[in-house]
A and B are shown apart, each in its own frame.
Chain A
Amino acid sequence: METERGLRTRILPELKSLTGRGLAGWMVIIGFGIVISIVTMTLISPWISPYDPSALNVGPLRSPPNGEFPLGTNHLGQDMLSRVLCGGSIMIQVAVLSVLFCLTIGVPIGLLSSYVGGSLDKIFSLIMDSIYAFPGLVLAITISAMLGRGVVNMALSIAVVYIPSYFRIIRSHVLTIKELPYTVAARAIGAKGRTILLQYILPNVVPSIVSVATVNFADAILTAAGLTFVGLGITKDIPDWGWDLTDGRILLPSGAWWVITFPGLMIVLLALGFTLIGEGLNELLNPKLEQ
């Protein structure tokens, strides 16, 4: 309940006056616009695709964009437009799942560890710092290679990489809030640890969690594409921008630019949408930088 109130009092008024907030406000609006359009496009793709995206030889092989195939066809004669329309589904699923994993694992660990303090906090901090220092993609590749293919596995391997980001930001906030007079007062009147954590501390950390989560979305999409590119993608049977890009590589020397350009641009747009939201929110919710 408190969390909800925190959201309402801190975020909603900010969102209402977005247009009056200069570049940051517009970044959030445009970012949301991009993300919502792409998600909608992916959801309704079965009804608007001109061809079955997985069907082979629906047109000539490697045909450049033309009237019948507006985005051309690939080396298997598949229609690129149909593939672009629905190719985001896996990436979006992986990103959503990985953010959910991060929220359900990273947030409680971060809150508890920094609130309790002591050796528990030291151990968690050491573990999180070690993971944080490591190249995310290398770690995600290693875990993903061991877990095997699958949307959940891919999301898990990405989540492991980003949990430390949540941990660190939450920890830095909790350490400050823990010592603020209103928290100390709550403790003095006998409030339980759980109450203090959930009703006094969490609502104040929510804005930071939101901005980490949006960046996490963008990173998850890029990492998912990267995992696919190194050969750890889900399955080639489902149309996916990542696979189309990876497969399109072999067509590069022939100059078939349309095979990689359109799926690639879709990944850029989706990641850009989330990055814009993240950047904008970060500036709106932490106005320090602006002053």
Chain B
Amino acid sequence: MGLRSYIATRVLLTIPMVMLLLTFVFLIVRVLPGDPVLLHFEKAASPETIELMRQRLGLDKPLLNQYFEYLAGLMHGDLGKSMQDFSPVGQQIFSAFPATLELAIYSMIIAVGLGIFLGVRSSQSYNSLQDHSIRIFGIVMYAIPIFFLGMIFQMIFGVFLHWLPTGGRIYPGMAPQGLNIGDLHISTGLYTIDSLLEGNVFKFVQALRYLFLPSLTLGLVLCGVFIRLTRSNMLETLRLDFVTAARARGLKEKTVLYGYAFRNAFLPVLTMMGLQFAVLLGGAILTESTFSWPGLGRYLVDRINFRDYTAIQGDVVFFGILIALVSLVVDVLYAYLDPRIRL
């Protein structure tokens, strides 16, 4: 199978999965015991108000009609209306998305970087004290609730040492504008990139300072998986003949480890990055709430507190589509890098 037909098959497989997910979320909100409108008002509203709310949100129509309207809306990027002020949920989600994306990118860099480094170190000294301590470190990190780790960091680096800010993305009113040349306006919504486009190093440093604790928290919790994966793959690769040959030729241990062995152990790490993206988004919800990071996760928690079920549905649908797309991209990338997959 050529790369092109592999991509086509993979895209076709994604469609039923996304449809299933959309249907699942639709049903959770409507069919599970607990009427969203009643729950929203916590039963403290007159029947007229409740009926009016149902009409405005289209929840009074037959289920099948609702379902098709919901799907048709999604085609146009319409994620429904908020129960609180009937504002379009899609707009709020799109404006919150860059914050989550930025947090996700930096956390992933920390998780993968630290995971690979510790994993290689661990495999290098198999069954030694170093190996055991690195493994235990990974296990302990896995067992820490993200928000607890976040609060500990806030307490140490924010409250006691005053080194780093404990919440938000940047000082109020300091958000970088991106590149502005005449009519041309380029802005990514990622503060670290926008501040550089603006040419403002101070803002860049500030953006990094605000990013540091949240992404370290999320990255640390995720790095365990990468440690374990790198370690087991390296242990396998290090036993192969070409590694022995490289060593016999007198190459430096570092070159052998990273230049030879690790290059062969990298593909599974790449796949894991795709798989971990879903875990990362889940973790982002808790990290964002802990650090008042204005992204999708905090939006979700915020909406839960307002019992805004239509907004919750929109947010969850967005998460679902995002993950389906990421796993599609990872699979295609994987097939490109390793032609065996396409066979």
Contact = CB atoms under 8 A, between A and B. Distances in A.
A235 to B, nearest CB: 15
A248 B139 contact: no
Interface stretch (A44-52, A129-137, A163-171): A129-137
B220 interface: no
A267 interface: yes
Given A23-B135, A142-B312, A147-B32, A222 B17 contact: no
A146 B304 contact: no
B283 interface: yes
Given A133-B324, A226-B286, A148 B148 contact: no
Given A248-B151, A276-B139, A138 B281 contact: yes
A28 interface: no
A142 B29 CA distance: 8
A218 B148 CA distance: 15
B28 A245 contact: no
B278 interface: yes
B17 A133 contact: yes
A267 B327 contact: no
A275 interface: yes
Given A138-B319, A147-B33, A267 B145 contact: yes
Contacts of B289: 229-230
B302 to A, nearest CB: 10
Nearest to B305: A231
Specify the main secondary structure of chain A where it touches its partner: helix
Interface stretch (A3-11, A63-71, A72-80, A251-259): A251-259
Nearest to A279: B139
A143 B34 contact: no
B143 to A, nearest CB: 4
A130 B159 contact: no
Nearest to B228: A279
B281 A135 contact: yes
A281 interface: no
Interface string A108-134: 000000000000000000110111011
B143 A226 contact: no
Most chain-B Cβ atoms within 10 A of its Cβ — which of A27, A222, A232, A253? Answer: A222
A136 B159 contact: no
A130 B21 CA distance: 6
B320 interface: yes
A135 B278 contact: yes
A230 B139 contact: no
Chain B, interface SS category: helix
B71 interface: no
Interface in A210-232: 218, 222, 225-226, 229-232
A260 B148 CA distance: 8
B323 A134 contact: yes
B316 A138 contact: yes
A236 interface: no
Contact of A218 (B21, B143, B300, B313): B143
Contacts of B307: 145
A230 B286 contact: yes
A27 B286 CA distance: 28
Contact of B304 (A134, A141, A261): A141
Contact of B159 (A141, A255, A275, A276): A255
Interface residues on B, range: 35 or more
A275 B144 CA distance: 11
A189 interface: no
B30 to A, nearest CB: 9
Interface residues of A, number: 48
A135 B315 CA distance: 12
B142 interface: yes
A253 B132 CA distance: 37
Interface string B268-297: 000000000011011101100110000000
A268 B159 contact: no
Interface in B84-110: none
B17 A126 contact: yes
Contact of B319 (A22, A134, A147, A276): A134
A60 interface: no
B204 interface: no
B135 A252 contact: no
B173 interface: no
B147 interface: yes
B25 interface: yes
Nearest to A138: B319
B154 interface: yes
B34 A126 contact: no
A268 B148 contact: yes
Contacts of A230: 285-286, 289, 300-301, 304
Contact of B145 (A146, A148, A245, A255): A245
B186 interface: no
B140 interface: yes
In order of increasing CB-CB distance, the 9 nearest A-B pairs are A135-B282, A137-B282, A272-B143, A271-B143, A264-B148, A146-B32, A135-B278, A230-B301, A135-B281
Given A135-B278, A143-B28, A147-B34, 5 more contacts: A130-B17, A222-B145, A229-B289, A267-B145, A268-B140
Interface of A: 22-23, 27, 126-127, 129-131, 133-139, 141-143, 145-148, 218, 222, 225-226, 229-232, 245, 248-249, 252-253, 255, 257, 260-261, 264, 267-268, 271-272, 275-276, 279, 289
